Amino acid sequence: MSTIGGHITVDPEIQNGQPVFTGTRVPVQTFFWHLEKGISIEEFLEDFPSVTKEQAIDVLEIANKIVNSTQLDKIYETVD
C-alpha cells in the first residue's frame, strides 16, 4: 500500500489497486470524471460524502504539480 500526498491511497486490496481517496473506496478517477462532465466539486462531495473537501482540493493540487512538473514527459511515458 502507498499513500500519495496523504489523500490518495493505492492498495491492491482496495478497488484492485486503483487510486482512491484515503480512508474511502472512492476512486480518484471518479472525481475527475465528474469534473469533466461539468459537475461541481460541491456536487461530487454530496454524491460521495466520505470524501472531504480538503481531500478533493489536495488531489487537484497534486494533479497541478504533476502537470507543471519539469519531468512531465517522463511521467507521461510511465503511464502511456
Which H helix or E strand runs over 21?
Answer: strand 20-21
Contacts of 24 (CB under 8 A, 6+ apart): 48, 50, 51
Q: What is the DSSP letter of 49?
A: T
Note the pLDDT of residue 76.
58
Mean pLDDT score, 58-69? 88
| Cβ(53)–Cβ(45) below 8 Å | yes
Note the pLDDT of residue 52.
96
Note the pLDDT of residue 72.
65
Q: What is the DSSP letter of 27?
A: B
User: pLDDT tens across 5-61, in order?
Assistant: 888 999 999 999 999 999 999 999 999 999 999 999 999 999 999 999 999 999 999
Task: Enumerate domains of the chain plus CATH numbers.
Answer: 2-79 (1.10.10.10)
Q: What is the largest CA-CA distance in the chain?
A: 36
